[in-house]
Amino acid sequence: MSEIERMKTQNGDVLGTHIMVSVCCLVYNHEPYLRECFEGFVMQKTTFPIEILVHDDASTDYSADIIREYTAKYPDIFKPIYQTENQYSKGKGFVGILLNFERAKGKYIAMCEGDDYWTDPLKLQKQVDFLEAHDEYALSFHDATIIDIRGNIITESKISKFMTAERLRDWTDEELMEGSTPPTPTVMYRKQFVDKTSIVRRKCNKLVNGDTINASLIGKYGKGKYHSDIENSVCNVQEGGVWQMKPILYKYTNVDKTYAFLSKYHKKIKAVRIYLLKYRYNNMINILKYCINKRQKKIFIKYYFKALRLLCVMFDLKTIYLFNKDISYWIKNRKNG
């Protein structure tokens, strides 16, 4: 009996009645990677049933055909949604996550996008076993390797590259709330906390930094377990990726929206709010420098006054003076746009 067949009849139950893990997979033009992603799902060895929730955001390649192929092969496991219009381009960056979360039947939710894949067949079992025994943890995660479109390794450790090697450990609830974000194909959330934050998540459904928001919201309820005993998942960096293809200014301004939202959500937790505001201010500095170099006057004025308002909340008059002095220096020494 195959793993999938065994999961379908686990304990004599029909799959769907006692699902332990809902795997949430977002797909958009992931054709070259999708079979490897799905094979990572079906190779999982578990003592419990799972479901695989796939949301295809109107892919223009053959991704939908591959989803149909796997759905036909594993009809009780794969549960797809096919969009007819791309929701991300309509400013609904969160819609795929929302739809998958709302239909999830599992006690836990595991994430993996269609251009990433799992390498450890015991990944889900190890994460569930830990979370079942440790109620103080709201989520668990492990590390990921990043590779390019030719299969070359960019970095062995995504956590070390984007944070530090010191972060290869459990994360506190404060660190999660402050924006520490596990690599997408490694994280597992408790569904009860996903449900508790569902109303808040709907209010920010136009924000695009979904992973950061999810970890921050759920971090309010507990710590994050780092699994050194799980093999790295793999993140593919594709040239046509939705986020990679966006302009730098788009990324900066959307990060600002994300941290503005989180600083309001966590406003009663002083240390977290201050950290989020400082991070937002540093991101605004990047926006201002970019606008000066590229002569984006209108956007510069908008974020100049946003930064001033933040400084009035966070710092004293001396800091505001130094900020304006820096602005004057950057304008005098700007590069040719």
Q: Please report, for the domain that includes residue 38, its CATH number.
A: 3.90.550.10
Residues 216 and 263 in one domain: no
Say if residue 115 is in the same domain as residue 226: yes
7 and 146 housed in the same domain: yes
Residues 128-152, mean pLDDT to the nearest whole number: 96
Task: For residues 35-41, give the mean pLDDT.
Answer: 98
The pLDDT of residue 103: 96
Predicted pLDDT of residue 182: 97
Report for 10-14, 137-141, 196-200: range of highest mean pLDDT: 137-141
Domain co-membership, 228 together with 253:
no
The answer to whether residues 214 and 288 belong to one domain is no
Would you say residue 286 lies in a domain? Answer: yes
Asked if 204 and 298 sit in the same domain, the reply is no
Binned at pLDDT 50, 70 and 90, residue 90 comes out as confident
206 pLDDT higher than 60:
yes
Question: Is 169 found in the same domain as 222?
Answer: yes
Sign of the Cα torsion 257, 259, 261, 264 reads negative
pLDDT of amino acid 318 = 86
Picking from 197, 206, 141, the residue whose alpha carbon sits closest to that of residue 171 is: 141
Global confidence as pTM: 0.89
Token look-up 């970095």 returns 155
pLDDT at 80: 97
What is the mean predicted confidence (pLDDT) over 17-39? 94
For range 215-241, the mean pLDDT: 92
Q: What percent of the chain lies above the pLDDT cut of 70?
A: 91
The answer to the question of residue 170 being in a domain is: yes
Mean pLDDT, the chain, whole residue set: 90
Domain end: 236, 271, 288, which one? 236
Mean pLDDT for the stretch of residues 122-131: 98
- Count up the domains in the chain and report the number: 2
**Is 192 inside a domain boundary?**
yes
Q: Which helix (H) or strand (E) is 6 found in, with range?
A: helix 3-8
Span 291-309, average pLDDT: 95
Helix axes 317-332, 270-294, angle to 10 degrees: 20
Range in 46-50, 201-205, 242-246, 264-268 with the lowest mean pLDDT: 242-246
Considering 236, 265, 293, which residue would you say is the last residue of a domain? 236
Q: Is residue 322 assigned to a domain?
A: yes
State the pLDDT confidence band at 10, using cuts at 50, 70 and 90: very low
By 3-state DSSP, what share of the chain in percent is helix, strand and coil, each rounded to 5?
50, 15, 35
Alpha carbons 118 and 235: distance in angstroms, whole number = 9
**75 has pLDDT over 60:** yes
Asked whether residue 55 falls in the same domain as residue 132, the answer is: yes
Do residues 9 and 86 lie in contact, with contact meaning Cβ atoms separated by under 8 Å?
no
pLDDT at 336 over 60: no
| Residue 243 lies inside a defined structural domain of this protein | no
241 in a domain, yes or no?
no
Q: Give me the mean pLDDT over the 163-183 stretch.
A: 97
> Domain of 192?
3-236
pLDDT on residue 93: 65
Residue 337 covered by a domain:
no
119 backbone dihedrals φ, ψ, rounded to 5°: -120, -15
Residue 63 and residue 170 in one domain: yes
- Average pLDDT of the segment spanning 60-86: 96
Same domain assignment for residues 210 and 263: no
- pLDDT, tens digit (0-9, with 9 covering 90-100), for 287-299: 999 999 999 999 9
Does the residue 141 lie in any domain?
Answer: yes
Residue with tokens 């990060």: 255
Beta strand 137-141 with 188-190: parallel, antiparallel or unpaired? antiparallel
Lowest mean pLDDT among 190-194, 214-218, 226-230, 245-249: 245-249
Domain end point (choices 193, 215, 236) = 236
In terms of pLDDT, which residue wins out, 205 or 283?
283
User: Are 33 and 170 part of one and the same domain?
Assistant: yes
Statement: residue 2 has pLDDT above 60: no
Tell me, yes or no, whether 232 and 252 share the same domain. Answer: no
DSSP 8-state class, residue 93: T
Phi and psi for 147 in degrees, rounded to 5?
Answer: -125, 155
